[in-house]
A = this chain, B = another copy of it.
Amino acid sequence: MILYSVPGSCSFASHVALEMAGADYEVRLAPREQGRTAEDFFEINPKGRVPALVTPDGLLTETPAILCYISQTYSQAKLAPMSNPWLFAQVQSFSAYLCATVHVAHAHGHRGYRWADQEASFQDMTRKVPQTMGACFRLIEKEMLQGPWVLGEDFSVCDIYLLAIARWLEADKVDTTSLSKVLDHRARMLRLPDVQKVLAEEQDLALSG
């Protein structure tokens, strides 16, 4: 499989999941131009976004779908409790919150042009990011992150996806004083050998671009 990625982006989650699953994969840098996706990447992925995973069956996009696909295809890695409808629904719910609310809040910091046209609107959106991302992460801290892992005792793709987005907290100027569980989770995740390997690969990828 081939994963198209941008270092520092949410494609990090798919990269870590592939590594933890023991998949046979290659990571390629999605072509960029002036901080946006280059036009020729749209020929690979009509959405023009990462992550984009080329599988034997075809192209797969969207982080929640890629994480689910890797979990189901490499079931021996036990990355998602798919046989338990309630627990699996928790995975889907957490992923949906991260992609549709948290990632979207973050994206308003630098991608305001997706939803508005005026420079003043972009600045207004950027100013609000510490507040919106802060509210999201306080909800995660209080209501979602059961500990030690997101779902409780069992590690899952939720932990991988949370790490990918929790890496943005400082850049998004979020006040982390009330986020002790999130910060502890992130620190534990960053110590995992598979995560460290992917971080190194991401660094190589960034330097190759």
Which residues of chain A have a CB within 8 Å of any CB of chain B? 46-47, 55, 57-58, 60-66, 68-69, 72-73, 82, 85-86, 88-90, 92-93, 95-97, 99-100, 103-105, 108, 114-118, 120-121, 124-125, 127-128, 132, 139, 142-143
Query: Distance in Å from the Cβ of A110 to the closest Cβ of chain B?
Result: 13
A96 touches B128 (CB 8 A): no
How far is A82 from B92 in the complex, measured between Cα atoms in Å?
13
16 more A-B residue pairs beyond the given contacts A73-B85, A105-B115, with a C-beta to C-beta distance below 8 A: A46-B142, A46-B143, A47-B139, A62-B92, A68-B89, A69-B86, A69-B88, A69-B89, A82-B82, A92-B92, A100-B100, A100-B103, A104-B115, A108-B115, A114-B132, A117-B128
**Which residues of chain B are near A103, meaning CB under 8 Å?**
100
Given A93-B60, A104-B100: A124 touches B127 (CB 8 Å cut-off)? no
For residue A121, which residues in chain B have a CB less than 8 angstroms away from its CB? 116, 118, 120-121, 124-125
Looking at the complex, which one of B72, B100, B125 makes contact with A62 (CB distance below 8 Å)?
B100
Alpha-carbon separation in the docked complex, A132 to B123 (Å): 20
Residues of B within 8 A of A68 (CB): 88-89, 92
Q: How far is the CA of A14 from the CA of B60 in the complex (A)?
A: 25
